[in-house]
Structure 1
Amino acid sequence: MTDTLTTNSPTVTKIPDEERGEFIPKMLPGVPLIFAENYVFDIMSNLCREYGGGFWDYFRGSNGALYMVPTGYDRMRLVAEGNGFDDEMSADAAGIVATLFALSHLSFRYQSDRLSEMYGRLLEFAYAHPESALICRAID
């Protein structure tokens, strides 16, 4: 993915290396840092059998949405056993799904208005994503 992607969807900007240290606290405010990032990794491990860890890129949507995307994958097959979802999507869409799950789960654990706000922004962003139908089915 390029540093900035513009389509009919909202603009997406890759977070530069010098801002990576600030990203997780902004995306998951109030969640202990060591726990926060690993939570997203664990969700992806549960959703995707092929996921084996690795580096993630961080992205900001034009509406302020923040999300993580695993690198080294073009397409990923996600299986959400709780809702019967089983389909393939881009790594970008898969990252949105994993981040949405993390924001949702963590907002109940930490009961933070800011976490709920970040979930709402990312969900709004997901509705305009080219793979919005797959994302919505995965998180349903």
Structure 2
Amino acid sequence: MNTTATSASITAALVPDDQRLDFLPAFFGPDLMMYGEALVYKWMGRLSHHYNGGFWQFHSLSNGGYYMAPNQPARLRVAVAGNGFDAFVSADAAGVIATLFALGQLAATENGAHERFCDLYHALRDYAGGHAEAAFIDRAID
């Protein structure tokens, strides 16, 4: 696996193409994988009017977490109406933000999997604390 980022001692690794089919069921579970994936995309569309689809990369974290991020070089404008956040961030940071929002929603709504999604949210939040754009991520999810 290629290591794509380091956050304190938490590392993110790009999921290789030959393992992509196993990624979504591993993190969302087989019953929620389609819903969970679509929820991340929906959050991205809600948070960034500059986002218009495309290929996404999957990242597994050394602490057991994960996130999804659009594979594009351009920065995305992310705006969160509820807290006034409005800034251009990298596609990677935008993916972290969208994944955090999706995991938060899943933790609040999926009773049978509440604890799992809370754990995944906190694993990603721990990683985000050491991200190069941690200040933007913090402000977006505040």
TM over 0.5: yes
Q: Give 2:74's aligned residue.
A: 74
Corresponding residue for residue 4 of structure 1: 3
Note if contact 2:7-2:128 (Cα within 8 Å) is conserved in structure 1: no
Unmatched tracts of structure 2, length 5 or more: none
- Tell me how far apart the structure 1 counterparts of residues 139 and 128 of structure 2 sit (CA, whole Å): 11
Q: CA deviation at 1:5?
A: 2.7
**Unpaired runs of 5+ in structure 1?**
none
The root-mean-square deviation of aligned C-alpha atoms, in Å, is 1.8
Q: Once the two structures are superposed, what CA deviation does each residue of 1:34-75 show, in whole Å capped at 9, x if it has no partner?
A: 211111001000000111111100001222220001112431
After superposition, the Cα gap between the structure-2 partners of 1:8 and 1:57, relative to the gap in structure 1 and judged at 3 Å, is closer
Match of 1:133 among 128, 132, 135: 135
**Within the alignment, does 1:24 sit opposite 2:12 as a pair?**
no
Count of residue correspondences: 139
Counterpart amino acid of residue 2 in structure 2 = D
Deviation at 1:127, TM superposition (A): 0.7
Q: Structure 1 residues 24, 16: CA separation in 2 closer, same or farther (over 3 Å shift)? A: same
Distance 2:86 2:31 in 1: 30
* Paired-residue identity, %: 40
Q: In structure 2, the residue corresponding to 1:77 is in which secondary structure?
A: strand
C-alpha contact (below 8 Å) 1:68/1:96 kept by paired residues: yes
